[in-house]
Amino acid sequence: MDHDDDLRDGPPPGRSDGLLDRLRAGLPADALITDPDVTVSYGRDMASFCEAGTPAVVVLPRTVEQVQHVMRTATELRVPVVPQGARTGLSGAANASDGCIVLSLVKMDRILEISPVDRIAVVEPGVINADLSRAVAGHGLTYPPDPSSWESCTIGGNIGTASGGLCCVKYGVTAEYVLGLDVVLADGRLLTTGRRTAKGVAGYDLTRLFVGSEGSLGVVVKAVLALKPKPPEQLVLAAEFPSAAAASAAICAIMASGHTPSLLELMDRTTVRAVNALGRMGLPETTEALLLAGFDTPHAAGDLAAVGELCTAAGATEVVPADTVAESELLLQARRTALPALETLKSATMIDDVCVPRSALGAMLEGTAAIAAKYGLTIGVCAHAGDGNTHPVVCFDHHDPDESRRARESFDAIMALGLELGGTITGEHGVGVLKKEWLAQELGPVGVELQRGIKRTFDPLGILNPGKLF
Amino acid sequence: MDHDDDLRDGPPPGRSDGLLDRLRAGLPADALITDPDVTVSYGRDMASFCEAGTPAVVVLPRTVEQVQHVMRTATELRVPVVPQGARTGLSGAANASDGCIVLSLVKMDRILEISPVDRIAVVEPGVINADLSRAVAGHGLTYPPDPSSWESCTIGGNIGTASGGLCCVKYGVTAEYVLGLDVVLADGRLLTTGRRTAKGVAGYDLTRLFVGSEGSLGVVVKAVLALKPKPPEQLVLAAEFPSAAAASAAICAIMASGHTPSLLELMDRTTVRAVNALGRMGLPETTEALLLAGFDTPHAAGDLAAVGELCTAAGATEVVPADTVAESELLLQARRTALPALETLKSATMIDDVCVPRSALGAMLEGTAAIAAKYGLTIGVCAHAGDGNTHPVVCFDHHDPDESRRARESFDAIMALGLELGGTITGEHGVGVLKKEWLAQELGPVGVELQRGIKRTFDPLGILNPGKLF
């Protein structure tokens, strides 16, 4: 399946021939895929409506040296490289460009070390998030970042997109867990950044620069990750609110009074109904906004009771604390199915990821409802509400050109609203292809100029994931 | 006091004249100091044995526009600028160079906003760390980073050096609390980075790049800082160990068994004696290593008891938990006087700041003792032991050339040992002038090349704090 003449839809054959020959010189045969029926499946991540090209070849290296060989070859021949994890991203950051090398890191999937004393794990980029979580749990430890796709997404992808998840309101995002990296640069050289230590300030923080850089500065081949002691099991409460405004007031009251929930999530009525329809979850459908609050403290039941009172004071019509961990887990599962459930409502969805200051959450939710009304569309909202991070999901029929146009316009209007409220266009999904016009608007011209300068410093030929971010 | 002819020891007068005239055009008269008797006092921070030059002028702006005017002028005339906070740094990063503009941010000292709902503070760079801590405490919040100099150091200086403190073992370093920045660039343009939101991944993390950059990339004029709910008061335990190895074993056991102390500090016998001599603290002088462990949890007494048992199991000869918060605070005060106490032992000190993986702490402490013996010097060690961050303090007579040489050699030997053990040359004090040769060794040539590339992107003329870091 790796015959050159399979590349019917790829770039000019001359260039491809040379490329494949050069790649083969430093890679085992099974590390290359050139069959277009197969390479096409590596073309895009899970974002809708993002351009994606046809790769010349997909490479699946197993060693750092193989990655270096790929990058040296790409530099020599000036071929673009698109690094990929599990392609669960939601911004098109892993989408192929025409004639590129797709560099999939999924076969580099070893957990190299777990140290309970140093509270670190050292991993290759292809390790699945949930596999790492399970492995460290055996040592009494936890790796908190838990994107919805945690059962399939990779640590390398998490680093590339600076993923978040449900845990962030207490435990923060991926960036806060990356201590050091080994990175293969555009020209194939190996860079080691950061540290294995708890602290360190030796020079500019290159580690953090790579986190969220969407494969545009280098290829992560090893990561030193911080771990935390495994907390007690989480107990979760569900509270029903008659309006988004009341739920937002409850969230502000919870955070202002010094609570530190391990989870503080919101689903609107559209989302609750979709979740029930998909999974028979039995969530209350009469509520306008369902709030889930969790605590993983030794005194979780007491914390839930205190937060329940704040919810009632803010106008909750019903407050139901789970009695058991199993019940709590069911509520979490319901929340985790929100995106797939909303995807069943129409033929297509566009998922926003606006994060606003917590104090502006009410305005963001009301403004989103107004946008849905204005454009005549269904927009279901689930939110990492404690962080002010909303995911308005625009549902539409992509066969209907007018509805598709309105979907894109409402998607943009939601980002504009987020910026107006002092927020950001992306809390955790990244920029990729989907939001690159918007990135410039958020950063401003000085910010863009400096970011481009950094890009040039790391990738002077512009071969790493071109066409993303900027 | 701001007559040009006061600049006897400055750079060539022609250049200075032009410089002062240009600066005066955009600054109030009281924002400039040119009297060399006064400017000399802005020449250096608290690091020993670091080169320091004579500034041409000290500028104390009160507004962002004034900072922009200074940087535009400096760019036009190609004059180096050394940004300064309270000059409490320990690496010479704030030391003047000959003919430079010292840009002191201490007059920009307003707390602009404190939001309990968003858990942020917005501050100017000259705000004193302890002033911010007290101000947010009134809102039930805490700003954790607490360097020893917290009563005098500024937030801008903390950001420039990525300061740590006693809190880090639980709460991390300054970097983790900086969400967004306003920065005046070398050419006077204003850059806004980051966010006011809990999460955000829009583009490369420029905010983090500035943290720890020692004024070499831009001048921070505003910061959005994350706050945490104020925890319960801390209770502290003191444990005496017959050896550094036993104390290190206790620390590893504490961390490996999932405890999260708010403080885990170590003082060796030399330090304990010096602290007693300075402040009549009554610490036990027969111990080889005194460990302080603190908890700020709702169940602190129980946590102390559990940790006390781990200490005993690791060989502690005495374990004394404080009964009250006041007693605990006394122990903390003793720890905070460690550096000044060690400074009284000889005419001069050099303070190391090596951070090793926690599991290598025992080897680091034993190796440091061996270095002290080899060079025939007193080296007192205090350590943020829970982080593996040791501060060996080399005490010597700086009038004695041979002892001075041995001091420098032992200081370097300690850094070499730290690197050998997988650590970093600086956990929290930064590089400045003191460790710039060592930085290159830690980063390696590829790392240095990229860091220089970033420097060029932000400061193509090299006028921002030249001669530091690299």
The answer to whether the beta carbons of residues A234 and A167 sit under 8 Å apart is no
Distance from CA of B12 to the nearest CA of A (A): 33
- Looking at residue B153, its amino acid is C
pLDDT value of position B16: 61
The question of ipTM being above 0.85 is answered as yes
The answer to whether the beta carbons of residues A91 and A434 sit under 8 Å apart is yes
- Using the beta-carbon criterion (under 8 Å), do A439 and B202 form an inter-chain contact? yes
Token pair 């535009």 is found at: B72
Token pair 């885990």 is found at: B264
d(CA A394, CA A336): 18
Judging by DSSP bridges, how do beta strands B178-184 and B263-268 pair with one another? Answer: unpaired
- Using the beta-carbon criterion (under 8 Å), do A164 and B199 form an inter-chain contact? yes
The answer to whether the beta carbons of residues A71 and A19 sit under 8 Å apart is no
Measured CA angle at A450 (ends A444, A456), to 5 deg: 135
- Using the beta-carbon criterion (under 8 Å), do B202 and A116 form an inter-chain contact? no
Chain A CB contacts of B173 below 8 Å: 199, 201
Segments of chain B scoring below 50 in pLDDT: 1-14
Q: Going from the N-terminus, what domains does chain A have, and what CATH number goes with each? A: 4-104 (3.30.43.10), 111-229 (3.30.465.10)
pLDDT value of position B154: 98
Copy the structure tokens of residue A69: 């060989």
Measured CA angle at B322 (ends B321, B323), to 5 deg: 110
Distance from CA of A156 to the nearest CA of B (A): 16
d(CA B18, CA B34): 14
**For testing contact with chain B, the best of A201, A207, A356, A417 (most B CBs within 10 A):** A201
- Using the beta-carbon criterion (under 8 Å), do B196 and A422 form an inter-chain contact? yes
The beta-carbon neighbor of B258 closest among A189, A229, A451 is A229
Segments of chain A scoring below 70 in pLDDT: 1-17
d(CA B326, CA B375): 40
d(CA A155, CA A150): 9
d(CA A391, CA A395): 12
- Using the beta-carbon criterion (under 8 Å), do B201 and A443 form an inter-chain contact? no
The answer to whether the beta carbons of residues A124 and A222 sit under 8 Å apart is yes
- Using the beta-carbon criterion (under 8 Å), do B197 and A256 form an inter-chain contact? no
A428 Cβ contact partners less than 8 Å away, ≥ 6 residues apart: A147, A161, A162, A163, A164, A165, A168, A173, A353, A355, A384, A389, B199, B201
Name the DSSP class of A34. Answer: -
Alpha-carbon torsion (B237, B238, B239, B241), positive or negative: positive
Distance from CA of B185 to the nearest CA of A (A): 10
Task: List the single residue in B with minimal CA-CA distance to A161.
Answer: B201
Distance from CA of A315 to the nearest CA of B (A): 18
The beta-carbon neighbor of B195 closest among A424, A428, A431 is A424
Q: Each residue of B248-295: pLDDT tens digit?
A: 999 999 999 999 999 999 999 999 999 999 988 889 999 999 999 999
| Residue B171 dihedral angles phi and psi, to the nearest 5° | -110, -5
Distance from CA of A389 to the nearest CA of B (A): 7
Distance from CA of B262 to the nearest CA of A (A): 14
The beta-carbon neighbor of A204 closest among B213, B299, B356 is B213
pLDDT value of position A49: 81
Chain A CB contacts of B160 below 8 Å: none
- Using the beta-carbon criterion (under 8 Å), do B199 and A439 form an inter-chain contact? no
Copy the structure tokens of residue B431: 């590089």
Buried b (16+ CB within 10 A) or exposed e, B118-134: bbbbbbbbbbbbebbbe
**For testing contact with chain A, the best of B197, B209, B260, B355 (most A CBs within 10 A):** B197
The beta-carbon neighbor of B355 closest among A192, A198, A389 is A198
pLDDT value of position A1: 36
pLDDT value of position A279: 87
- Looking at residue B456, its amino acid is R
d(CA A380, CA A391): 8
d(CA B282, CA A134): 48
**Taking chain B, what is the end-to-end CA distance rounded to the nearest angstrom?**
35
Task: List the single residue in B with minimal CA-CA distance to A451.
Answer: B204
- Using the beta-carbon criterion (under 8 Å), do B355 and A197 form an inter-chain contact? yes
Measured CA angle at B233 (ends B228, B236), to 5 deg: 120
Judging by DSSP bridges, how do beta strands B235-241 and B318-321 pair with one another? Answer: antiparallel
Distance from CA of B210 to the nearest CA of A (A): 8
The beta-carbon neighbor of A200 closest among B213, B259, B355 is B355
